Amino acid sequence: MNFLVKLIVGCLILTIVRNDVYAQQMAKIKIDPDRTIGEISPLLYGNFVEHLGRCVYGGIYDPESFLSDEDGFRKDVLDAAKDLNITITRYPGGNFVSNYHWEDGVGPTRVPRMELAWSRLETNQFGTNEFMAFARKLGTEPYFAVNMGTGTIEEAQRWVEYTNVKGQSYYANLREEHGHPEPYNIKYWSLGNEMDGFWQMGHLNAEDYSKKAREAAKLMKLTDPTIKLIAAGSSNYRPFADPNEWNATILKELRDVVDYLAIHMYVGNPDDNYYNFLSTPLVMEHRTKLIKGLIDVEMQKADRGERDPIYIAWDEYNVWYRARRGASSRGERALEEQYNLEDALVIAGFLNGFIRNADVVKMANMAQLVNVIGPMFTNEEGMFRQTIYFPLQLFSQNMHGTSLDVYVDCDTYDTDEFNIGLGEQVTRQSDVPYLDVSVAMNDDEIIISVMNRHLTDEISTDIILQEGAYMGEFEVMEVNGPDVKSQNTFGSEIVQTSQKNNISPGDNEFTYVFPPHSYTMIKGKIER
């Protein structure tokens, strides 16, 4: 009898364990190279450096450190940043810029100022010329934001003159005096930061912001007609805000003037609900589609000559919620978020969303580069790469060319009602696919990007090429870890990219089993 009970219990345990190991779903992805969405902008793999916490001082710049080069830049950070292939870097803020006067940060005399956005003392030791030296070492396109809060349109114009004009003008001469005879020709300029936010120093309503931005744009373009301008779109999704009203007004007022509309989004997991959290990139995608519609309306009426339509720049996005609470949002250690695997999966979801909307999203900047809600983290002895570093790296190194509109058939789930981040409007997501997919075609290369949201099930997926044939072996790279809460730290990057065995697909079909809570990139050649 005793033996029988033991046998039954044993069988039950075995069944549970086997189910856990082998639970599997089936899915299908169909790829048609003729169904294109748009060209993938290289500027989707941007980043952001703000004077905030230890992003600049102690992050990229630390002249006292034994790890820094002759110009004071942390070599370990620079090397890891180079591996991220950061195409464009936004500077100097962020909320910081709305009370920043760029002349404080150039020349031999640097005046320390109270920094009001993040409650620090700004020494101004690092400014325009130091950032440009960093940008050149990194090989990244600089993207400057002007102060539309406490700054004037004249101050914005003078910054463009300082950076972009060659000749005998006052600010061009000043740059030369500061040791930089050649202009930097900074092409991308944003007209302020998050001007819809009540927290922004010098916050304006949409009409007043549009007027100021239009006049700043006029002066800046008269100084250098080749620059591209980015308007401050929606960042305020608090319950009583009206972000699309803001976007509609800005687009209407600035439709002939600007080249991009900047949108910001931070997501969190305040209720510690994995499936709700993993659906947040779809909120970003929904906002993208709404704004695309608003842009389409205004482009019917715009007078833009030969210029492209207005595009979307997601010029701040990330996971950010833990390090926001209380004292941690201020001072030297501000916003030092520690990321885990589920955060990395959310980032993969964001990046897939950008690719799926490649016709309209033409710039994206992860906020921020190091220490402050960043993919890298330093101390005096060294640095480590956070979990979110790895999907971004896979995308920036591989996901180029044309985005394809693929068919995905897989199981889905519905979320509860939840908050996507602290202070944000509540949402509910239906039919969230367990597989989140985007595909790029770059000449004869096909790059398949798949995030498996399922916490416990692997998903066996037939990947069918509808025209042409797969050629040779396909490379497989995976970001995963023992647990969705796994984090990296100094000396232990437990979540990172691993190279899997190559696969040999059949002529036009192969099956790949995506492990639970994973991000996978598969790439190889096709013949058409």
**Residues catalogued as catalytic:** 194, 316
Q: Which is nearer to ligand AHR, 309 or 423 (CB)?
A: 423
Q: Which is nearer to ligand AHR, 372 or 479 (CB)?
A: 372
Work out how close the CB of 365 gets to ligand AHR at its nearest, in angstroms, rounded to a whole number: 10
Q: Which is nearer to ligand AHR, 317 or 512 (CB)?
A: 317
Q: Which is nearer to ligand AHR, 247 or 368 (CB)?
A: 368
Work out how close the CB of 125 gets to ligand AHR at its nearest, in angstroms, rounded to a whole number: 20
Work out how close the CB of 233 gets to ligand AHR at its nearest, in angstroms, rounded to a whole number: 12
Beta pairing, strands 432-433 & 412-413:
antiparallel
Task: Tell me how long the chain is.
Answer: 528
Asked if residue 363 lies in contact with residue 87, where contact means CB atoms within 8 angstroms, the answer is: no
Work out how close the CB of 499 gets to ligand AHR at its nearest, in angstroms, rounded to a whole number: 33
Beta pairing, strands 228-232 & 260-267:
parallel
Q: Which tokens is 524 given?
A: 């190889």
CA torsion sign for 89, 230, 344, 515 is negative
Backbone angles phi, psi at 211, to 5 degrees: -60, -45
> Whose CB is nearest to ligand AHR?
94
Q: Which is nearer to ligand AHR, 367 or 495 (CB)?
A: 367
Work out how close the CB of 368 gets to ligand AHR at its nearest, in angstroms, rounded to a whole number: 6
Q: Which is nearer to ligand AHR, 62 or 194 (CB)?
A: 194
**Residue given tokens 């000559």 in the structure block:** 305
Beta pairing, strands 113-115 & 120-122:
antiparallel
CA torsion sign for 255, 256, 257, 260 is positive
Backbone angles phi, psi at 180, to 5 degrees: -130, 80
CA distances from 317 to 27, 263, 364, 369 (A): 30, 9, 8, 12
Q: In Å, how far from its chain's centre is CA 285?
A: 13
Centre a 10 Å sphere on the Cβ of residue 515 and count the other Cβ atoms it contains.
Answer: 15
Q: Which is nearer to ligand AHR, 254 or 367 (CB)?
A: 367
Question: Is residue 119 left, alpha or beta, with left meaning phi > 0 and alpha meaning psi from -120 to 50?
Answer: left
Scored b (16 or more CB within 10 A) or e, 115-144 reads bebbebebbbebbbbbbbbbbebbebbbbb
Asked if residue 481 lies in contact with residue 341, where contact means CB atoms within 8 angstroms, the answer is: yes
Work out how close the CB of 371 gets to ligand AHR at its nearest, in angstroms, rounded to a whole number: 12
Scored b (16 or more CB within 10 A) or e, 46-58 reads bbbbbbbbbbbbb
Binding site residues, ligand AHR, CB under 6 A: 50, 93-95, 193-194, 316, 367-368
